[in-house]
Chain A
Amino acid sequence: MTRVEVDISCPRGDFALRLAFGAESGEVTSVFGRSGSGKTTLLLALAGHLRARGKIRVGDEVWLDSEKDIDLPPHRRAVGWVSQESDLFGHLDVRGNLLFGQIRLPVAERVLGLDEVARDLGLQGLLDRRVAGLSGGERQRVALGRALLRAPHLLLLDEPLAALDGESRAILVERLDELRERFAWPVLLVSHSIREVARLADRMLLMREGSIEASGTASELLTSFAVDRLAGEDSGAVLEAALAAQEDDGLSRLDTGAGPILVRRLDRPIGTRLRLQILASDVSLATGPVTNDSVLNSLAGRVEAVEILSEGAAVVRVRCGEKGPAILARITRRSLARLGLTVGSPVEARVKAVSVLD
Chain B
Amino acid sequence: MFLSGSTTAAVLLTLELALVTTLVLFIVGTPLAWWLAFTRSRLRSLVAAVTTLPIVLPPTVLGFYLLVFMAPEGPLGRLTAMLGLPPLVFSFPGLVIASVVYSLPFVVQPLASAFEGMGRRPLEVAASLGAGPADRFLRVVLPHCRTDFLSAAILGFAHTVGEFGVVIMIGGGIPGRTEVLSVRIFNQVEALNYDEAHTLSAGLVVFSLLVMLLLFGLRRSREEAR
A308 at the interface (CB under 8 A from B): no
Query: Considering only CB atoms, which chain B residue lies closest to A151 in the complex?
Result: B130
How far does the alpha carbon of A80 sit from the alpha carbon of B128 in the complex, in Å? 7
Which listed segment binds A: B30-38, B56-64, B119-127? B119-127
B140 at the interface (CB under 8 A from A): yes
Q: How far is the CB of B169 from chain A (nearest CB, A)?
A: 43
Contact of B130 with A81 in the complex, beta carbons under 8 Å: no
How far does the alpha carbon of A44 sit from the alpha carbon of B123 in the complex, in Å? 13
Query: Considering only CB atoms, which chain A residue lies closest to B124 in the complex?
Result: A49
Contact of B125 with A81 in the complex, beta carbons under 8 Å: yes
Partner of A89, one of B124, B127, B132, B140: B140
Q: Which of B128, B132, B133, B225 has the most CB of A within 10 A?
A: B128
B129 at the interface (CB under 8 A from A): yes
Query: Considering only CB atoms, which chain B residue lies closest to A109 in the complex?
Result: B130
Contact of A104 with B128 in the complex, beta carbons under 8 Å: no
Query: Considering only CB atoms, which chain B residue lies closest to A146 in the complex?
Result: B129
B-chain residues with CB within 8 Å of residue A101 when the two chains form the complex: 128-130
Given contacts A75-B130, A101-B129, A104-B129, is CB(A91)–CB(B124) below 8 Å? no
Q: How far is the CB of A130 from chain B (nearest CB, A)?
A: 9
B-chain residues with CB within 8 Å of residue A81 when the two chains form the complex: 124-125, 128
* A contact residues, range: 20 to 34
Contact of B129 with A91 in the complex, beta carbons under 8 Å: no
With an 8 Å Cβ cutoff, the count of chain B residues facing the other chain is 21
A216 at the interface (CB under 8 A from B): no
Instruction: Give 1 or 0 for each of A88-104: 1 = CB within 8 Å of chain B CB.
Output: 01111000000011001
Q: How far is the CB of B132 from chain A (nearest CB, A)?
A: 5
Contact of B143 with A75 in the complex, beta carbons under 8 Å: no
How far does the alpha carbon of A48 sit from the alpha carbon of B124 in the complex, in Å? 9
How far does the alpha carbon of A91 sit from the alpha carbon of B126 in the complex, in Å? 13
B177 at the interface (CB under 8 A from A): no
Query: Considering only CB atoms, which chain B residue lies closest to A87 in the complex?
Result: B125
Partner of A150, one of B121, B129, B133, B136: B129
A-chain residues with CB within 8 Å of residue B130 when the two chains form the complex: 75, 78, 101, 104-105, 150
Contact of A74 with B127 in the complex, beta carbons under 8 Å: yes
Partner of A87, one of B122, B135, B146: B122
Instruction: Give 1 or 0 for each of B102-127: 1 = CB within 8 Å of chain A CB.
Output: 00000000000000000011101111
Contact of B144 with A75 in the complex, beta carbons under 8 Å: no
A77 at the interface (CB under 8 A from B): yes
Contact of B121 with A75 in the complex, beta carbons under 8 Å: no
Query: Considering only CB atoms, which chain B residue lies closest to A85 in the complex?
Result: B121
B24 at the interface (CB under 8 A from A): no
Contact of A75 with B125 in the complex, beta carbons under 8 Å: no
Q: How far is the CB of B122 from chain A (nearest CB, A)?
A: 7
Query: Considering only CB atoms, which chain B residue lies closest to A47 in the complex?
Result: B128
New A-B pairs, 14, CB < 8 Å, besides A47-B128, A146-B129? A44-B124, A47-B124, A47-B127, A75-B130, A75-B135, A75-B136, A81-B125, A81-B128, A85-B121, A89-B126, A89-B143, A91-B143, A100-B129, A101-B128
- 25 contacts across the A-B interface (CB closer than 8 A): A44-B124, A47-B128, A49-B120, A49-B127, A74-B127, A75-B126, A75-B129, A75-B130, A75-B135, A79-B128, A81-B124, A81-B128, A87-B122, A87-B125, A89-B122, A89-B125, A89-B140, A90-B144, A91-B143, A92-B143, A100-B126, A132-B225, A132-B226, A150-B128, A150-B129
Q: Which 10 A-B pairs have the closest CB atoms?
A: A101-B129, A74-B127, A104-B130, A91-B143, A75-B127, A87-B125, A79-B128, A81-B128, A75-B132, A49-B124
Residues of B within 8 A of A (CB): 120-122, 124-133, 135-136, 140, 143-144, 146, 225-226
